[in-house]
């Protein structure tokens, strides 16, 4: 194994200090923390980076509105992020701020190198600029010729002197990287999306501004003091400057990053601009750029203006931080959008954690106290319950690839299979019956099997729920660390004999929602009035008829299925990613699992109702509906007779 393979560099995006932390920030950071804890447990030298992005026109204007300097405002909001991560016990190794002096020096060093290489040149920029997204857009990208395609806010016409990065120079190299590295962008639907964007042609990128001053100045050697760097060049460089790029470079051997975790809204910056900057700097490219979806509430993206933002601290305080961590990683397939609800969280706590895990430990404590005064031995486990043990190890062997390929819900789903084996073994072998029949050796070996399953599951659950699993490990007489990981997981050893320690129930049942939610105002009853003759005549018409205009209000399109997978715990639902010729694939939840296997759908075409209001099914956001026909012989999807371009209208 090379020295670099023994290292793991894991990053969150640096969060923009235009508002306080919300559930989306917590989701990203919890995932990164899980990967970092696992990497350390697996013996990798690990560096986990998070922080805040503090420059740009948006911050300058927000500070001015509050009567503060940009630095005072940035200090306040950045402090809130750091305080929350500390309260959440996030195990970051460095919290970087783009106002750090070392960061600014590193960014200037990078600019100087790219400039001297000929990848940066000076010209005049004229175009549409979105202050909110800190991004430029062409006429064709705008909505209705004016509005930002990312956030929907009005853009400004900007004309000013600017330095440009030769992004177009790296178009072919970027496409080569995407094609040769299938997992460089996760999930793969995002990689396909980025490839389509780059194949459409790249323009050179404006990377400096002169209309505001709150940013990193150009290197002194260039002697052009009126320019500050475009916020995305400044921000993206944090992944290198945190390791000392351009200053003290002793940590640069952690590069390249094993995982850059980001939200899907900043995918283009990380998957197009960032690797192009790295190519210009002659630096290796990251192994994975992993883009997750949005958390919604009642099917809508959260926003301060809508008043539907979820405060992660309030949820963690009410339901327990580690329960919250488990829910966030288990509830939604990575990359898809998920809908937050207290009901779904309570169901996970009561079912997965309470019934499957907590109750299993309680049963072991109770039975071992009754049958062996708390003494538990592994002596006969392999001999008497070898089949069950082999099944457990088979599930555990599948876990690590799922974790680092961002299939976090599947990681936890697979990890729960050993718990199912343990619970079913109790019901199957009935240790109380074995004891009555004098089969004490078999009964006590069964307790040993359950203890070992709990121990092995706890080790692999530790990155998600570190304090909870430490409690379970203490009850089972061991400590979760690298040694336990090597012994119990890698070598498949069993626990040494121990006396179990009683611990209180880990997951008390929750009977009702613990956080109050605002209820919508009751609609006022409309005054009743006597129906007119015209209305009476209309009511006598056949019901359900629509006009041709009403029909054409329905948008029907041909789509190509890019990905398909089963929805956990559902007998009917499949989760699809469907290309409708739009900038991003649509996520559609369809009740067709009884008639179609996921593998049979990928690459095929379907007909989609494309302008339905998004709905949520089992916590998953669905952005359309498939057309199908169903009779007594079953269900069949409605498909085009011949292949059509994704997005082709039907009508």
Task: Say whether both 456 and 357 belong to one domain.
Answer: yes
Domain membership of residue 532 (yes or no) is: no
pTM here?
0.79
| Confidence class for position 270, pLDDT limits 50, 70, 90 | very high
- Say whether the peptide bond before residue 256 is cis (omega within 30 degrees of 0): yes
Tokens encoding 379: 């002596």
- Asked if 452 and 495 touch (Cβ cutoff 8 Å), the reply is yes
| Confidence class for position 630, pLDDT limits 50, 70, 90 | confident
Task: Say whether both 372 and 433 belong to one domain.
Answer: yes
| Confidence class for position 539, pLDDT limits 50, 70, 90 | very low
- How many domains does the chain fold into? 2
Domain membership of residue 483 (yes or no) is: yes
Rounded CA-CA distance 621/27 in Å is 17
Rounded CA-CA distance 300/214 in Å is 33
Closest CA to 482 of 8, 33, 43: 43
Domain membership of residue 104 (yes or no) is: no
Mean pLDDT computed over 416-428: 97
Round the average pLDDT of the chain to a whole number and report it.
Answer: 90
Mean pLDDT computed over 86-100: 98
Task: Say whether both 345 and 416 belong to one domain.
Answer: yes
- Asked if 624 and 612 touch (Cβ cutoff 8 Å), the reply is yes
Domain membership of residue 364 (yes or no) is: yes
Say if residue 496's pLDDT is above 70: yes
Write down the pLDDT at residue 3: 53
> In 10 A of CB 437, how many CB atoms?
11
Closest CA to 27 of 337, 288, 274: 337
pLDDT, tens only, 39-64: 999 999 999 999 999 998 889 988 99
Say if residue 145's pLDDT is above 80: yes
Name which of 96-100, 293-297, 537-541 the model is least confident about: 537-541
Task: Say whether both 413 and 477 belong to one domain.
Answer: yes
Task: Say whether both 480 and 349 belong to one domain.
Answer: yes
| Confidence class for position 528, pLDDT limits 50, 70, 90 | very low
Range of the domain at 447: 341-499
Task: Say whether both 448 and 563 belong to one domain.
Answer: no
Report CA torsion sign: 623, 629, 635, 637: negative
Task: Say whether both 448 and 572 belong to one domain.
Answer: no
- Report the CATH number at residue 439: 1.10.730.10
Say if residue 520's pLDDT is above 90: no
| Confidence class for position 412, pLDDT limits 50, 70, 90 | very high
Write down the pLDDT at residue 552: 52
Rounded CA-CA distance 491/489 in Å is 6
Which of the listed residues 499, 534, 569 is the one where a domain comes to its end? 499
Domain membership of residue 349 (yes or no) is: yes
Which of the listed residues 499, 531, 556 is the one where a domain comes to its end? 499
Rounded CA-CA distance 475/469 in Å is 10
- Report the CATH number at residue 611: 2.40.50.140
Domain membership of residue 263 (yes or no) is: no
Say if residue 66's pLDDT is above 80: yes
Contacts of 542 (CB under 8 A, 6+ apart): none
- Say whether the peptide bond before residue 486 is cis (omega within 30 degrees of 0): no
Query: Pairing relation of β-strands 205-206 and 156-165?
Result: antiparallel
Mean pLDDT computed over 141-145: 84
Residues at the binding site for Zn(2+) are 130, 133, 148, 151
- Asked if 623 and 614 touch (Cβ cutoff 8 Å), the reply is yes
Task: Say whether both 494 and 564 belong to one domain.
Answer: no
Mean pLDDT computed over 382-392: 98
Contacts of 395 (CB under 8 A, 6+ apart): 414, 415, 417, 418
Cα–Cα distance list, 300 to 328, 432, 479, 578 (Å): 18, 52, 43, 20
Helix (H) or strand (E) segment spanning residue 7 = strand 7-11
- Asked if 77 and 66 touch (Cβ cutoff 8 Å), the reply is no
Write down the pLDDT at residue 547: 55
Rounded CA-CA distance 403/419 in Å is 19
Task: Say whether both 557 and 494 belong to one domain.
Answer: no
Contacts of 543 (CB under 8 A, 6+ apart): none
Task: Say whether both 353 and 453 belong to one domain.
Answer: yes
Task: Say whether both 394 and 482 belong to one domain.
Answer: yes
Task: Say whether both 485 and 348 belong to one domain.
Answer: yes
Cα–Cα distance list, 510 to 154, 251, 359, 467 (Å): 46, 46, 14, 20
Domain membership of residue 624 (yes or no) is: yes
Strands (E), 522-612: 556-566, 574-579, 586-590, 605-609
Write down the pLDDT at residue 296: 84
Domain membership of residue 346 (yes or no) is: yes
Residues at the binding site are 130, 133, 148, 151
Cα–Cα distance list, 589 to 148, 577, 595, 635 (Å): 28, 9, 14, 16
């Amino acid at each position: 194994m090379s020295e670099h393979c023994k290292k793991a560099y894991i990053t969150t995006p640096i969060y923009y200090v235009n508002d306080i932390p919300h559930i989306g920030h917590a989701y990203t950071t919890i995932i990164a923390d899980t990967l970092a804890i696992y990497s350390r447990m697996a013996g990798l030298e690990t560096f986990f980076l998070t922080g805040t992005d503090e420059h740009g026109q948006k911050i300058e204007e927000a500070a001015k509105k509050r009567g503060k300097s940009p630095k005072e405002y940035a200090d306040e909001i950045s402090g809130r992020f750091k305080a929350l991560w500390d309260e959440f016990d996030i195990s970051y190794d460095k919290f970087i701020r783009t106002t750090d002096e070392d960061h600014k020096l590193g960014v200037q060093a990078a600019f100087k190198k790219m400039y001297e290489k000929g990848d940066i040149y000076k010209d005049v920029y004229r175009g549409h600029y979105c202050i909110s997204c800190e991004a430029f857009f062409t006429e064709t990208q705008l909505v209705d010729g004016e509005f930002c395609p990312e956030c929907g806010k009005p853009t400004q016409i900007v004309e000013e002197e600017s330095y440009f990065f030769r992004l177009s120079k790296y178009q072919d190299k970027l496409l080569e990287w995407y094609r040769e590295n299938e997992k460089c962008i996760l999930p793969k639907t995002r990689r396909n999306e980025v490839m389509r964007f780059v194949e459409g042609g790249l323009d050179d990128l404006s990377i400096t501004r002169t209309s505001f001053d709150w940013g990193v100045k150009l290197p002194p050697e260039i002697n052009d003091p009126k320019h500050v760097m475009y916020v995305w060049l400044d921000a993206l460089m944090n992944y290198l400057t945190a390791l000392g790029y351009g200053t003290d470079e002793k940590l640069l051997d952690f590069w390249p990053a094993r995982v850059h975790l980001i939200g899907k809204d900043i995918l283009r910056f990380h998957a197009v601009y960032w690797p192009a900057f790295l190519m210009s700097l002659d630096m290796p490219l990251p192994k994975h750029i992993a883009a997750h979806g949005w958390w919604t509430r009642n099917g809508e993206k959260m926003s301060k203006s809508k008043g539907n933002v979820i405060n992660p601290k309030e949820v963690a305080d009410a339901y327990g931080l580690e329960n919250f961590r488990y829910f966030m990683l288990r509830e939604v397939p990575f990359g898809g959008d998920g809908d937050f609800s207290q009901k779904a969280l309570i169901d996970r706590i009561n079912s997965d954690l309470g019934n499957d895990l907590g109750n299993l430990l309680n049963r072991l404590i109770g039975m071992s106290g009754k049958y062996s005064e708390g003494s538990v031995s592994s002596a006969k486990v392999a001999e008497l319950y070898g089949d069950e043990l082999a099944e457990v190890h088979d599930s555990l062997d599948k876990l690590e690839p799922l974790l680092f390929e961002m299939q976090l819900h599947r990681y936890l789903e697979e990890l729960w299979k050993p718990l199912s084996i343990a619970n079913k073994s109790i019901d199957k072998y009935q240790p109380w019956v074995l004891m009555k029949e004098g089969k004490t050796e078999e009964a006590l070996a069964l307790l040993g099997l359950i203890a070992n399953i709990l121990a092995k599951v706890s080790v692999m659950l530790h990155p998600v729920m570190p304090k909870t699993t430490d409690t379970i490990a203490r009850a089972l007489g061991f400590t979760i660390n690298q040694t336990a990981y090597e012994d119990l997981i890698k070598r498949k050893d069993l626990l040494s004999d121990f006396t179990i320690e009683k611990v209180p129930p880990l997951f008390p049942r929750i009977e009702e929602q613990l956080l109050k939610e605002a209820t919508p105002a009751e609609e006022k009853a409309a005054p009743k009035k006597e129906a007119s003759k015209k209305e009476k005549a209309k009511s006598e018409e056949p019901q359900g008829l629509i006009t041709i205009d009403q029909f054409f209000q329905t948008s029907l399109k041909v789509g190509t299925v890019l990905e398909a997978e089963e929805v956990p715990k559902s007998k009917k639902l499949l989760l699809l990613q469907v290309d409708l010729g739009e900038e991003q694939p649509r996520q559609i939840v369809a009740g067709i699992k009884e008639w179609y296997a996921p593998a049979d759908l990928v690459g095929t075409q379907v007909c989609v109702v494309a302008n339905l209001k998004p709905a949520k099914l089992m916590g998953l956001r669905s952005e359309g509906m498939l057309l199908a026909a169903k009779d007594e012989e079953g269900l069949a999807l409605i498909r085009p007779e011949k292949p059509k371009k994704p997005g082709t209208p039907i009508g």
